[in-house]
A and B are shown apart, each in its own frame.
Chain A
Protein backbone atom coordinates (compact mmCIF):
# COMPACT_ATOMS: atom_id res chain seq x y z
CA UNK A 1 0.00 0.00 0.00
CA UNK A 2 2.85 2.43 0.80
CA UNK A 3 5.92 2.94 -1.36
CA UNK A 4 8.57 0.61 0.07
CA UNK A 5 11.42 3.11 -0.27
CA UNK A 6 10.02 5.20 2.57
CA UNK A 7 11.97 4.78 5.80
CA UNK A 8 10.12 2.56 8.24
CA UNK A 9 9.93 5.34 10.78
CA UNK A 10 8.12 7.74 8.50
CA UNK A 11 5.69 5.05 7.54
CA UNK A 12 5.08 4.29 11.17
CA UNK A 13 4.49 7.96 12.00
CA UNK A 14 2.20 8.23 9.03
CA UNK A 15 0.22 5.22 10.11
CA UNK A 16 -0.05 6.66 13.57
CA UNK A 17 -1.32 9.96 12.17
CA UNK A 18 -3.83 8.09 10.06
CA UNK A 19 -4.94 6.17 13.09
CA UNK A 20 -5.47 9.37 15.06
CA UNK A 21 -7.42 10.83 12.18
CA UNK A 22 -9.54 7.73 11.95
CA UNK A 23 -10.18 7.89 15.67
CA UNK A 24 -11.39 11.46 15.31
CA UNK A 25 -13.54 10.42 12.39
CA UNK A 26 -15.17 7.75 14.45
CA UNK A 27 -15.77 10.26 17.20
CA UNK A 28 -17.56 12.71 14.89
CA UNK A 29 -19.30 10.38 12.46
CA UNK A 30 -20.34 7.30 14.29
CA UNK A 31 -18.71 4.35 12.54
CA UNK A 32 -18.61 5.28 8.87
CA UNK A 33 -16.55 2.76 6.92
CA UNK A 34 -14.01 4.58 4.79
CA UNK A 35 -13.92 3.20 1.27
CA UNK A 36 -10.95 2.72 -1.03
CA UNK A 37 -11.03 5.98 -2.97
CA UNK A 38 -9.19 4.50 -5.92
CA UNK A 39 -12.38 2.60 -6.69
CA UNK A 40 -14.79 5.51 -6.48
CA UNK A 41 -17.60 5.05 -9.02
CA UNK A 42 -16.67 5.82 -12.62
CA UNK A 43 -18.45 8.59 -14.46
CA UNK A 44 -19.55 8.60 -18.08
CA UNK A 45 -19.03 12.13 -19.32
CA UNK A 46 -21.41 11.90 -22.29
CA UNK A 47 -24.17 10.60 -20.04
CA UNK A 48 -23.61 13.32 -17.45
CA UNK A 49 -23.69 16.07 -20.04
CA UNK A 50 -26.89 14.67 -21.51
CA UNK A 51 -28.57 14.48 -18.12
CA UNK A 52 -27.38 17.98 -17.19
CA UNK A 53 -28.83 19.40 -20.39
CA UNK A 54 -32.19 17.83 -19.56
CA UNK A 55 -32.51 20.11 -16.52
CA UNK A 56 -32.18 23.14 -18.77
CA UNK A 57 -35.25 21.96 -20.71
CA UNK A 58 -37.53 22.42 -17.74
CA UNK A 59 -39.69 25.46 -18.25
CA UNK A 60 -39.93 27.36 -14.97
CA UNK A 61 -42.86 29.76 -14.80
CA UNK A 62 -45.19 31.66 -12.47
CA UNK A 63 -45.03 30.77 -8.78
CA UNK A 64 -42.28 28.20 -9.26
CA UNK A 65 -40.14 30.86 -10.90
CA UNK A 66 -40.79 33.44 -8.19
CA UNK A 67 -39.96 30.94 -5.46
CA UNK A 68 -36.86 29.88 -7.32
CA UNK A 69 -35.61 33.44 -7.63
CA UNK A 70 -36.16 34.17 -3.95
CA UNK A 71 -34.46 30.92 -2.97
CA UNK A 72 -31.54 31.81 -5.22
CA UNK A 73 -31.04 35.15 -3.47
CA UNK A 74 -31.16 33.41 -0.13
CA UNK A 75 -28.58 30.83 -1.24
CA UNK A 76 -25.96 33.29 -2.42
CA UNK A 77 -22.56 33.52 -0.76
CA UNK A 78 -21.87 37.11 -1.75
CA UNK A 79 -18.20 37.10 -2.49
CA UNK A 80 -15.26 39.46 -2.66
CA UNK A 81 -11.86 37.79 -2.90
CA UNK A 82 -9.46 40.33 -4.22
CA UNK A 83 -6.00 41.42 -3.25
CA UNK A 84 -7.32 44.95 -3.16
CA UNK A 85 -10.14 44.24 -0.69
CA UNK A 86 -10.40 46.87 2.05
CA UNK A 87 -12.51 47.57 5.08
CA UNK A 88 -14.58 50.01 3.04
CA UNK A 89 -15.32 47.52 0.28
CA UNK A 90 -16.24 44.74 2.70
CA UNK A 91 -18.50 47.00 4.77
CA UNK A 92 -20.40 48.09 1.68
CA UNK A 93 -20.82 44.52 0.56
CA UNK A 94 -22.10 43.58 4.02
CA UNK A 95 -24.74 46.28 3.80
CA UNK A 96 -25.81 44.98 0.40
CA UNK A 97 -26.01 41.45 1.81
CA UNK A 98 -28.71 42.58 4.25
CA UNK A 99 -30.43 45.12 1.99
CA UNK A 100 -30.43 43.60 -1.46
CA UNK A 101 -33.02 45.95 -2.92
CA UNK A 102 -35.08 47.72 -0.30
CA UNK A 103 -37.61 49.08 -2.77
CA UNK A 104 -38.82 45.50 -3.19
CA UNK A 105 -40.43 44.57 0.11
CA UNK A 106 -39.91 41.24 1.77
CA UNK A 107 -36.72 40.13 0.09
CA UNK A 108 -34.56 37.63 1.97
CA UNK A 109 -30.92 38.33 2.80
CA UNK A 110 -28.14 36.41 1.12
CA UNK A 111 -26.81 33.35 2.94
CA UNK A 112 -23.32 34.56 3.69
CA UNK A 113 -20.51 36.93 2.88
CA UNK A 114 -17.37 35.23 1.62
CA UNK A 115 -14.09 37.03 2.31
CA UNK A 116 -10.41 36.49 3.11
CA UNK A 117 -9.57 35.75 6.79
CA UNK A 118 -8.21 39.28 7.30
CA UNK A 119 -11.67 40.70 6.59
CA UNK A 120 -13.66 38.37 8.84
CA UNK A 121 -13.75 40.65 11.86
CA UNK A 122 -14.88 43.64 9.80
CA UNK A 123 -17.58 41.60 8.10
CA UNK A 124 -18.73 40.12 11.38
CA UNK A 125 -19.16 43.57 12.90
CA UNK A 126 -20.90 44.94 9.84
CA UNK A 127 -23.35 42.07 9.68
CA UNK A 128 -24.20 42.13 13.37
CA UNK A 129 -27.27 40.14 14.21
CA UNK A 130 -28.62 39.96 10.64
CA UNK A 131 -28.32 36.20 10.38
CA UNK A 132 -26.01 36.56 7.38
CA UNK A 133 -23.06 34.27 7.98
CA UNK A 134 -19.41 35.00 7.41
CA UNK A 135 -17.44 32.52 5.35
CA UNK A 136 -13.67 32.79 5.14
CA UNK A 137 -11.47 31.23 2.52
CA UNK A 138 -8.53 29.71 4.35
CA UNK A 139 -5.71 27.17 3.85
CA UNK A 140 -3.54 29.31 1.56
CA UNK A 141 -6.43 30.03 -0.78
CA UNK A 142 -6.53 29.75 -3.79
CA UNK A 143 -3.51 27.51 -4.53
CA UNK A 144 -3.30 25.63 -1.25
CA UNK A 145 0.46 25.45 -1.75
CA UNK A 146 1.53 25.83 1.89
CA UNK A 147 2.51 23.47 4.68
CA UNK A 148 -0.23 21.98 6.82
CA UNK A 149 0.65 23.96 9.95
CA UNK A 150 0.29 27.24 8.02
CA UNK A 151 -3.08 26.09 6.74
CA UNK A 152 -4.19 25.15 10.24
CA UNK A 153 -3.12 28.52 11.61
CA UNK A 154 -4.88 30.28 8.74
CA UNK A 155 -8.06 28.36 9.59
CA UNK A 156 -7.83 28.88 13.34
CA UNK A 157 -7.25 32.60 12.84
CA UNK A 158 -10.38 32.94 10.69
CA UNK A 159 -12.45 30.97 13.20
CA UNK A 160 -11.12 33.05 16.09
CA UNK A 161 -12.07 36.23 14.22
CA UNK A 162 -15.62 34.93 14.09
CA UNK A 163 -16.00 33.03 10.82
CA UNK A 164 -19.08 30.82 10.74
CA UNK A 165 -17.83 28.86 7.77
CA UNK A 166 -14.42 27.98 6.36
CA UNK A 167 -13.86 27.48 2.62
CA UNK A 168 -10.69 25.39 2.27
CA UNK A 169 -8.92 24.26 -0.87
CA UNK A 170 -7.63 20.72 -1.33
CA UNK A 171 -4.05 20.06 -2.39
CA UNK A 172 -4.71 19.41 -6.05
CA UNK A 173 -1.08 18.60 -6.75
CA UNK A 174 -1.06 15.84 -4.16
CA UNK A 175 -4.41 14.60 -5.40
CA UNK A 176 -3.17 14.35 -8.97
CA UNK A 177 -0.07 12.53 -7.70
CA UNK A 178 -2.44 9.92 -6.28
CA UNK A 179 -1.69 10.83 -2.65
CA UNK A 180 -5.28 10.40 -1.56
CA UNK A 181 -4.38 9.70 2.07
CA UNK A 182 -2.51 13.01 2.22
CA UNK A 183 -5.52 14.90 0.86
CA UNK A 184 -7.85 13.04 3.20
CA UNK A 185 -5.73 13.74 6.29
CA UNK A 186 -5.35 17.38 5.41
CA UNK A 187 -9.11 17.86 5.14
CA UNK A 188 -9.61 15.99 8.41
CA UNK A 189 -7.02 18.20 10.13
CA UNK A 190 -8.66 21.39 8.87
CA UNK A 191 -12.05 20.09 9.95
CA UNK A 192 -10.65 19.67 13.42
CA UNK A 193 -9.26 23.22 13.35
CA UNK A 194 -12.70 24.52 12.34
CA UNK A 195 -14.31 23.57 15.64
CA UNK A 196 -18.00 24.32 15.19
CA UNK A 197 -17.56 26.30 11.98
CA UNK A 198 -18.88 24.47 8.93
CA UNK A 199 -16.23 23.36 6.49
CA UNK A 200 -16.56 23.80 2.74
CA UNK A 201 -14.06 21.78 0.74
CA UNK A 202 -13.12 23.36 -2.58
CA UNK A 203 -12.09 20.72 -5.12
CA UNK A 204 -11.09 23.22 -7.84
CA UNK A 205 -12.63 21.00 -10.48
CA UNK A 206 -11.12 23.07 -13.29
CA UNK A 207 -7.74 21.66 -12.28
CA UNK A 208 -8.96 18.10 -11.80
CA UNK A 209 -10.32 18.11 -15.36
CA UNK A 210 -12.02 14.70 -15.60
CA UNK A 211 -15.34 13.84 -14.00
CA UNK A 212 -13.86 10.59 -12.64
CA UNK A 213 -11.47 12.71 -10.59
CA UNK A 214 -14.19 15.11 -9.51
CA UNK A 215 -16.13 12.16 -8.17
CA UNK A 216 -13.11 10.74 -6.35
CA UNK A 217 -12.22 14.09 -4.78
CA UNK A 218 -15.85 14.53 -3.70
CA UNK A 219 -15.79 11.16 -1.95
CA UNK A 220 -12.53 11.98 -0.18
CA UNK A 221 -13.84 15.37 0.97
CA UNK A 222 -17.07 13.96 2.35
CA UNK A 223 -15.53 10.98 4.13
CA UNK A 224 -12.82 13.23 5.60
CA UNK A 225 -15.46 15.35 7.30
CA UNK A 226 -16.30 18.20 4.92
CA UNK A 227 -19.74 19.70 5.56
CA UNK A 228 -19.94 21.17 2.07
CA UNK A 229 -18.27 20.25 -1.16
CA UNK A 230 -17.59 23.18 -3.43
CA UNK A 231 -16.56 23.25 -7.07
CA UNK A 232 -14.14 26.12 -7.48
CA UNK A 233 -12.18 29.02 -6.13
CA UNK A 234 -13.40 31.25 -8.92
CA UNK A 235 -9.76 31.89 -9.83
CA UNK A 236 -9.48 29.08 -12.37
CA UNK A 237 -11.45 28.61 -15.55
CA UNK A 238 -13.64 26.62 -16.03
CA UNK A 239 -15.30 27.18 -12.66
CA UNK A 240 -18.68 25.60 -11.83
CA UNK A 241 -20.49 23.87 -14.67
CA UNK A 242 -23.73 21.93 -14.57
CA UNK A 243 -22.14 18.54 -15.42
CA UNK A 244 -19.49 18.96 -12.70
CA UNK A 245 -22.10 20.02 -10.18
CA UNK A 246 -24.29 17.07 -11.14
CA UNK A 247 -21.45 14.62 -10.51
CA UNK A 248 -20.91 16.17 -7.08
CA UNK A 249 -24.63 16.09 -6.26
CA UNK A 250 -24.71 12.43 -7.21
CA UNK A 251 -21.70 11.81 -4.95
CA UNK A 252 -23.62 13.52 -2.13
CA UNK A 253 -26.60 11.31 -2.83
CA UNK A 254 -24.47 8.15 -2.71
CA UNK A 255 -22.87 9.32 0.54
CA UNK A 256 -26.32 9.94 1.97
CA UNK A 257 -27.49 6.48 0.86
CA UNK A 258 -24.50 4.91 2.61
CA UNK A 259 -24.30 6.98 5.80
CA UNK A 260 -27.61 8.80 6.20
CA UNK A 261 -25.63 12.03 6.53
CA UNK A 262 -26.49 15.08 4.46
CA UNK A 263 -23.67 17.02 2.83
CA UNK A 264 -24.20 20.51 1.39
CA UNK A 265 -23.18 21.67 -2.07
CA UNK A 266 -21.74 24.92 -3.35
CA UNK A 267 -21.11 25.57 -7.03
CA UNK A 268 -18.99 28.70 -7.34
CA UNK A 269 -17.88 30.88 -10.19
CA UNK A 270 -19.49 31.37 -13.55
CA UNK A 271 -23.11 31.48 -12.38
CA UNK A 272 -24.15 35.03 -13.03
CA UNK A 273 -27.59 34.75 -14.67
CA UNK A 274 -30.83 33.89 -12.93
CA UNK A 275 -31.91 31.53 -15.67
CA UNK A 276 -28.80 29.42 -15.09
CA UNK A 277 -29.36 29.58 -11.33
CA UNK A 278 -32.90 28.22 -11.85
CA UNK A 279 -31.46 25.37 -13.93
CA UNK A 280 -29.18 24.57 -10.98
CA UNK A 281 -32.17 24.54 -8.64
CA UNK A 282 -34.01 22.15 -10.96
CA UNK A 283 -30.93 19.93 -10.94
CA UNK A 284 -30.74 20.08 -7.14
CA UNK A 285 -34.44 19.32 -6.72
CA UNK A 286 -34.43 16.40 -9.13
CA UNK A 287 -31.18 14.92 -7.84
CA UNK A 288 -31.33 15.39 -4.07
CA UNK A 289 -34.90 16.49 -3.40
CA UNK A 290 -36.71 19.01 -1.24
CA UNK A 291 -34.59 18.55 1.91
CA UNK A 292 -31.66 20.19 0.14
CA UNK A 293 -33.65 23.12 -1.26
CA UNK A 294 -32.47 25.79 1.20
CA UNK A 295 -29.31 27.67 2.08
CA UNK A 296 -28.31 25.26 4.78
CA UNK A 297 -27.63 22.66 2.10
CA UNK A 298 -27.01 24.61 -1.07
CA UNK A 299 -25.15 27.81 -1.90
CA UNK A 300 -24.19 29.76 -4.96
CA UNK A 301 -20.72 31.28 -4.79
CA UNK A 302 -21.26 34.40 -6.84
CA UNK A 303 -20.83 38.13 -6.94
CA UNK A 304 -22.92 39.36 -9.86
CA UNK A 305 -25.77 36.82 -9.70
CA UNK A 306 -27.73 38.75 -7.09
CA UNK A 307 -28.38 41.75 -9.32
CA UNK A 308 -29.54 39.64 -12.23
CA UNK A 309 -31.99 37.87 -9.92
CA UNK A 310 -33.21 41.23 -8.60
CA UNK A 311 -33.73 42.42 -12.14
CA UNK A 312 -35.84 39.33 -12.89
CA UNK A 313 -37.86 39.78 -9.71
CA UNK A 314 -38.65 43.36 -10.67
CA UNK A 315 -39.61 42.16 -14.13
CA UNK A 316 -41.99 39.62 -12.60
CA UNK A 317 -43.47 42.31 -10.35
CA UNK A 318 -43.78 45.18 -12.81
CA UNK A 319 -43.81 43.44 -16.18
CA UNK A 320 -40.89 45.45 -17.53
CA UNK A 321 -37.13 45.18 -17.28
CA UNK A 322 -35.35 47.97 -15.49
CA UNK A 323 -31.93 49.32 -16.31
CA UNK A 324 -28.94 47.96 -14.43
CA UNK A 325 -28.49 51.42 -12.94
CA UNK A 326 -31.45 50.79 -10.66
CA UNK A 327 -29.56 48.07 -8.82
CA UNK A 328 -26.63 48.85 -6.56
CA UNK A 329 -23.39 47.19 -7.58
CA UNK A 330 -22.38 46.38 -4.04
Chain B
Protein backbone atom coordinates (compact mmCIF):
# COMPACT_ATOMS: atom_id res chain seq x y z
CA UNK B 1 0.00 0.00 0.00
CA UNK B 2 1.45 3.34 -0.89
CA UNK B 3 1.27 6.43 1.24
CA UNK B 4 1.43 8.67 -1.78
CA UNK B 5 -1.78 7.38 -3.24
CA UNK B 6 -3.65 10.63 -2.63
CA UNK B 7 -0.68 12.93 -2.99
CA UNK B 8 -1.98 14.74 -6.06
CA UNK B 9 -5.42 15.36 -4.65
CA UNK B 10 -3.86 16.53 -1.41
CA UNK B 11 -1.62 19.04 -3.15
CA UNK B 12 -4.57 20.44 -5.05
CA UNK B 13 -6.67 20.80 -1.93
CA UNK B 14 -3.83 22.41 0.01
CA UNK B 15 -3.34 24.87 -2.77
CA UNK B 16 -7.05 25.71 -2.85
CA UNK B 17 -6.99 26.37 0.82
CA UNK B 18 -4.18 28.89 0.45
CA UNK B 19 -5.88 30.83 -2.30
CA UNK B 20 -9.53 31.03 -1.34
CA UNK B 21 -11.49 31.60 1.77
CA UNK B 22 -14.85 30.16 2.64
CA UNK B 23 -14.25 26.67 1.26
CA UNK B 24 -17.01 24.10 1.68
CA UNK B 25 -16.95 21.33 4.29
CA UNK B 26 -16.33 18.66 1.65
CA UNK B 27 -12.87 20.07 0.90
CA UNK B 28 -11.88 19.99 4.55
CA UNK B 29 -13.31 16.51 5.02
CA UNK B 30 -11.29 15.14 2.13
CA UNK B 31 -8.08 16.80 3.26
CA UNK B 32 -8.58 15.64 6.82
CA UNK B 33 -9.15 12.06 5.68
CA UNK B 34 -6.02 12.13 3.51
CA UNK B 35 -3.89 13.44 6.36
CA UNK B 36 -5.16 10.64 8.58
CA UNK B 37 -4.43 8.10 5.90
CA UNK B 38 -0.88 9.42 5.59
CA UNK B 39 -0.46 9.35 9.38
CA UNK B 40 0.11 13.10 9.41
CA UNK B 41 -1.59 13.56 12.74
CA UNK B 42 -0.21 16.98 13.55
CA UNK B 43 -1.30 18.25 10.15
CA UNK B 44 -4.78 16.86 10.75
CA UNK B 45 -4.94 18.45 14.15
CA UNK B 46 -3.85 21.82 12.80
CA UNK B 47 -6.36 21.60 9.98
CA UNK B 48 -9.12 21.08 12.50
CA UNK B 49 -7.83 23.99 14.56
CA UNK B 50 -7.88 26.39 11.64
CA UNK B 51 -11.32 25.42 10.37
CA UNK B 52 -13.86 28.10 11.04
CA UNK B 53 -16.25 27.42 13.88
CA UNK B 54 -19.39 27.74 11.84
CA UNK B 55 -18.26 24.74 9.80
CA UNK B 56 -17.48 22.59 12.80
CA UNK B 57 -20.59 22.76 14.88
CA UNK B 58 -23.29 22.25 12.31
CA UNK B 59 -25.41 19.15 12.23
CA UNK B 60 -24.99 18.66 8.46
CA UNK B 61 -21.22 18.63 8.84
CA UNK B 62 -21.24 15.76 11.26
CA UNK B 63 -18.70 14.00 9.07
CA UNK B 64 -16.06 16.59 9.96
CA UNK B 65 -16.63 16.09 13.66
CA UNK B 66 -16.44 12.35 13.16
CA UNK B 67 -13.11 12.68 11.34
CA UNK B 68 -11.85 14.81 14.18
CA UNK B 69 -12.82 12.11 16.66
CA UNK B 70 -10.72 9.71 14.60
CA UNK B 71 -7.78 12.12 14.83
CA UNK B 72 -8.08 12.31 18.58
CA UNK B 73 -8.33 8.54 18.90
CA UNK B 74 -5.21 8.04 16.78
CA UNK B 75 -3.35 10.64 18.76
CA UNK B 76 -4.17 8.90 22.00
CA UNK B 77 -3.31 5.61 20.38
CA UNK B 78 -6.76 4.42 21.39
CA UNK B 79 -7.53 1.83 18.76
CA UNK B 80 -10.81 0.70 20.23
CA UNK B 81 -12.19 4.25 19.97
CA UNK B 82 -10.78 4.56 16.50
CA UNK B 83 -12.39 1.43 15.12
CA UNK B 84 -15.60 2.37 16.86
CA UNK B 85 -15.78 5.88 15.39
CA UNK B 86 -14.88 4.71 11.92
CA UNK B 87 -18.18 2.81 11.74
CA UNK B 88 -20.09 5.66 10.23
CA UNK B 89 -22.10 6.44 7.11
CA UNK B 90 -19.33 8.18 5.15
CA UNK B 91 -20.32 10.24 2.15
CA UNK B 92 -19.06 9.27 -1.32
CA UNK B 93 -16.67 12.19 -1.05
CA UNK B 94 -14.41 10.58 1.54
CA UNK B 95 -15.54 6.97 1.50
CA UNK B 96 -12.66 5.47 -0.53
CA UNK B 97 -10.08 7.29 1.58
CA UNK B 98 -11.64 6.20 4.84
CA UNK B 99 -11.80 2.60 3.62
CA UNK B 100 -8.11 2.69 2.81
CA UNK B 101 -7.46 4.24 6.19
CA UNK B 102 -9.33 1.44 7.91
CA UNK B 103 -7.42 -1.25 6.08
CA UNK B 104 -4.12 0.45 6.81
CA UNK B 105 -4.82 0.93 10.49
CA UNK B 106 -5.93 -2.70 10.85
CA UNK B 107 -2.75 -3.91 9.27
CA UNK B 108 -0.66 -1.63 11.46
CA UNK B 109 -2.48 -2.72 14.56
CA UNK B 110 -1.86 -6.39 13.86
CA UNK B 111 1.81 -5.72 13.12
CA UNK B 112 2.10 -3.85 16.40
CA UNK B 113 0.31 -6.59 18.32
CA UNK B 114 2.72 -9.09 16.82
CA UNK B 115 5.77 -7.22 18.14
CA UNK B 116 4.37 -5.84 21.38
CA UNK B 117 2.53 -8.83 22.83
CA UNK B 118 3.64 -12.31 23.70
CA UNK B 119 0.09 -13.11 24.72
CA UNK B 120 -3.14 -11.19 24.78
CA UNK B 121 -6.66 -12.06 25.89
CA UNK B 122 -9.03 -12.52 23.01
CA UNK B 123 -11.51 -10.27 24.77
CA UNK B 124 -9.01 -7.38 24.81
CA UNK B 125 -8.08 -7.86 21.21
CA UNK B 126 -11.74 -7.92 20.25
CA UNK B 127 -12.21 -4.64 21.99
CA UNK B 128 -9.16 -3.05 20.40
CA UNK B 129 -10.07 -4.09 16.89
CA UNK B 130 -13.84 -3.78 17.28
CA UNK B 131 -14.17 -6.86 15.10
CA UNK B 132 -16.63 -9.68 15.47
CA UNK B 133 -15.30 -12.95 16.89
CA UNK B 134 -15.38 -14.64 13.48
CA UNK B 135 -13.57 -11.81 11.75
CA UNK B 136 -10.87 -11.85 14.35
CA UNK B 137 -10.51 -15.59 14.13
CA UNK B 138 -9.92 -15.51 10.41
CA UNK B 139 -7.53 -12.56 10.73
CA UNK B 140 -5.48 -14.45 13.33
CA UNK B 141 -5.55 -17.60 11.28
CA UNK B 142 -4.20 -15.69 8.29
CA UNK B 143 -1.24 -14.59 10.42
CA UNK B 144 -0.67 -18.10 11.83
CA UNK B 145 -1.35 -16.90 15.35
CA UNK B 146 -2.20 -19.70 17.77
CA UNK B 147 -4.37 -19.61 20.84
CA UNK B 148 -4.70 -21.45 24.10
CA UNK B 149 -7.22 -21.74 26.88
CA UNK B 150 -6.69 -19.97 30.20
CA UNK B 151 -9.52 -20.92 32.50
CA UNK B 152 -12.63 -19.79 30.67
CA UNK B 153 -10.82 -17.18 28.58
CA UNK B 154 -9.01 -17.54 25.32
CA UNK B 155 -5.47 -16.22 25.01
CA UNK B 156 -4.00 -15.43 21.65
CA UNK B 157 -0.29 -15.81 21.06
CA UNK B 158 0.85 -13.42 18.35
CA UNK B 159 3.96 -13.96 16.25
CA UNK B 160 6.16 -11.03 15.18
CA UNK B 161 5.98 -10.23 11.54
CA UNK B 162 9.10 -10.65 9.46
CA UNK B 163 10.05 -7.55 7.58
CA UNK B 164 11.70 -7.88 4.27
CA UNK B 165 13.17 -5.03 2.35
CA UNK B 166 15.80 -5.00 -0.27
CA UNK B 167 18.02 -2.49 -1.94
CA UNK B 168 19.60 -3.13 -5.27
CA UNK B 169 23.20 -4.34 -4.96
CA UNK B 170 24.42 -2.11 -7.76
CA UNK B 171 23.13 0.90 -5.94
CA UNK B 172 24.99 -0.01 -2.79
CA UNK B 173 28.19 -0.55 -4.69
CA UNK B 174 27.85 2.83 -6.34
CA UNK B 175 27.39 4.56 -3.01
CA UNK B 176 30.33 2.78 -1.44
CA UNK B 177 32.55 3.77 -4.35
CA UNK B 178 31.48 7.34 -3.81
CA UNK B 179 32.44 7.27 -0.16
CA UNK B 180 35.79 5.67 -0.79
CA UNK B 181 36.63 8.18 -3.48
CA UNK B 182 35.72 10.98 -1.08
CA UNK B 183 37.90 9.60 1.68
CA UNK B 184 40.84 9.20 -0.63
CA UNK B 185 40.72 12.73 -1.93
Is chain B found bound to chain A in the same assembly?
Answer: no
**Chain B residues with a Cβ under 8 A of chain A:** none
**Chain A residues with a Cβ under 8 A of chain B:** none
